[in-house]
Structures are given as C-alpha cells and as structure tokens.
Structure 1
C-alpha cells in the first residue's frame, strides 16, 4: 500500500513497483486515517508510509497499524533532512525508513527485504539520523541499563554496539574478523534475548538506554 498525500509521488512509486512481477499495489491512502482504514480492510504485506500527512501523521498511523494482529510491515518515507518524526515512527513499530528520492532498484530491494522479515536501515543514514536526534535521546542521567542486556555474552554485546552505530553485517564481520554468517547468528540471538522484532528496535534500544550515545 502507498500512503502519501502527494498523488504525483504515489503515481511514480506505482509505476516503478507495478513493473515488478512479484509486487502488486493493492491500496493507496492520502492521509493517516485513510491508511489505517485501508490496512484494516485490505490484505497488505508492506506499507510505504509518508511521515507528514493531513488528518493523522504517519507516526501515529504506523503505531495504530503495528499494534494490530498480523500487522503489515511499514516502511517510512522521509525527506533528505531526516525530520525527527522518522525516529518516532521506528519506535512506533516501523521496519525501517527510506528517503523519498530512493533509487527505484533500492526501493524494490527494500520492499522485498522487509517482506522477508529484515529491517531496512541504511547504515550511513542511521548514523546521520541518530546524530541529528541527540537532543531527544537520553542524557547522562537517562534510564538504567535494562537487566536484559546482562543476558548477552561479551561478543553479542560487542555486535549490538556495532549494530547501534549503523554498521551492516558485512561491516561488522570485517571489523571483528568474523564470517558474515556468524554475525547474522549473533544478531539473531541478540534479538531473541532482548525480545526485539528486528535490528531497528535494537538500534533504538541501544540509544534509549544510553548503551550508545548519538555523536559518540
């Protein structure tokens, strides 16, 4: 489903996506309220959700949609300057975010990745986003480290720190001299132990608890 108040943008995305044999556009929405209504009555796997829309913004729409059973995956569409609502949407349950000027091939790949259960957060974009949100992240007097983190091994904690810094599995493998498959296994164990849905939630947790700090 395409949820964006700009009809021209929805038309552009539709043209790109309908050219793919494995992707169908089953619904469109021009605001957050309509997105929730369409998601409730139309079986949909992935939603491309704009952040700033009339009546109800994409953050609240994402929160309400993701709170339901068997919720579709939500990919947030944000502008290049990474407005703060994108971070809030990740906390609300979005599986990742894309820039509105994302190249067509990357858009298609992101949709397929999210559909398969992966999170889509470009490492360099993650770093820029988290740096820009230093003011909304915890201060030195933030919440205590959750006890769940004590369940992690030293290696898992090390991997989590690198995930939180925006590194991909291949970059983490190179940094720690591990195979990419081993890193993927570590990430899976981290998500299980911390009861997290995906690496997006892992990034949010690491910054909210002060395990890693923006700009640091």
Structure 2
C-alpha cells in the first residue's frame, strides 16, 4: 500500500524539498501541503492522509495544537503525526507527544531516516530513536511536568504500583529509548514476550502508542 503524506511547514522551500523527497520514494506519496496549523487540521480532515509531517512553529496555529486537534477528532484519529523539530525547541517536543504525536525527528536528519520514519509511524509504531530520545528526555526531566486533566492521558489509567514487576522493568527500558529487540536482549526475553508486555502496558496505562508510554513512565516517577 502507498503511504499518503501531508506536509505541514510554514517555509515553502522546506515543504517543496520534503514533498520532492517523499514523492520520489517507493511506497510514499504526498497528497497535500499546509503552511500553518489551521490548514494542516483542515487538510487532514479533507484528505485523510496516513501521516502528517508536522512542523512545530507555524503561524495561525502551532504544530502542537494542530496535532492535538488531529489526534483528538474521531474522523482523523487514525492519522499519525510525525513532528519535526530542532534541539533548541526541546521544550515543545514533550507537548507534541502529549498531544498525540507518534514521534519526532530533527530537521537536519538524513533523507533516508526521514523516509524510514514516515514508514515507521504509518505502520503504527512510535518513532523514538534511542540517541535522540535520551537527549530530549534529559531536558524534559528538568522541566515542570503539567498534570493531565482527569480522565485523559496516560496518567488517568492505573498507577505504576498496579503493574507487575516485569511490566515496570519493560516500561523503564521503553522510556530509556530501547527497541523491542534491545529490551528482549537485556531482559533475556523473546520478541513475542516483549511485544506482549508492551501491549499490556498500552492497555493498562491507556496509552495511544510507545511515545505515550515514555510520558507515562516519567509522570509516574518510574524514571
């Protein structure tokens, strides 16, 4: 299947560059562009792309709020949002993940990593590259963490005390940016067992994806 992508960025040159790169990649297709957050929300509702490549700083409506509206609306909830950021905007990444983004990449990432990232989030996984995740989370740990509204978000489900010891171990490793394979090797578990534990964590913590498991781990104090 072809992955349909919407590119949202307020810089025409970047939109064009991303669009050209994506359109020339096998299995990927740009179906629309947006130059601000409001256009991104409207275009997502109209075009129903599989993935939105979302800038954070945009006029009219920023990428965080646009992400929240896209992932929070029933008609566009299936669309995955991949946020692009730079390290001097670390404080925004936490907000983007809380808003429901499936992951993030740096704007200076290589073309191959960007294309793989789009395919990864389209497949339903979260894109949390270990090298990037650890650096960003180190910054998040220094910032005050807003508590979610009651009944919403990962912290609204069970607490860490209601997880099994093994589930807590897996959650900590997910929060540290380890892949399923790395978690299995570290804990001497099969790939299927790791996947089962992560599935249970998603259900127990009412998390949308792996990105929100990271948030849950930090908000619960496990990490």
TM over 0.5: yes
Alignment partner, residue 47 of structure 1: 52
Is 1:75 aligned with 2:86? no
Q: Point out the more displaced range, 144-153 or 75-84.
A: 144-153
Structure 1 CA distance for aligned equivalents of residues 38 and 191 of structure 2: 41
Q: Give, in angstroms, the shift of residue 163 of structure 1.
A: 0.7
Pick aligned residue for 1:11 from 7, 16, 23: 16
Alignment partner, residue 66 of structure 2: 61
Alignment partner, residue 135 of structure 2: 128
RMSD, aligned CA: 1.9
Pick aligned residue for 1:202 from 207, 210, 213: 213
Q: Give, in angstroms, the shift of residue 150 of structure 1.
A: 3.6
Q: Give, in angstroms, the shift of residue 201 of structure 1.
A: 0.4
Structure 1 CA distance for aligned equivalents of residues 98 and 209 of structure 2: 12
Pick aligned residue for 2:109 from 74, 95, 102: 102
1:164-214 CA deviation, whole Å, 9 max, x = no partner?
A: 1121112212211222332122111211222211111000011112221xx
TM-score, normalization by structure 2: 0.87
Q: Is the 8 A contact 1:62 1:89 kept in 2?
A: yes
Structure 1 CA distance for aligned equivalents of residues 89 and 135 of structure 2: 8
Pick aligned residue for 1:175 from 167, 186, 189: 186
Q: Give, in angstroms, the shift of residue 24 of structure 1.
A: 1.1
Mapping for residues 110-189 of structure 1, pairs under 5 Å = 110-138=117-145, 147-189=158-200
Q: 1:4 to 1:145 in 2, by over 3 A?
A: closer
Q: 1:14 to 1:138 in 2, by over 3 A?
A: closer
Aligned residue for 1:181, secondary structure, equals helix
Instruction: Tell me the number of residue pairs that the alignment of Structure 1 and Structure 2 aligns.
Output: 208
Structure 1 CA distance for aligned equivalents of residues 81 and 157 of structure 2: 27
Q: Give, in angstroms, the shift of residue 9 of structure 1.
A: 0.9
TM-score, normalization by structure 1: 0.89
Gaps of 5+ in 1: none
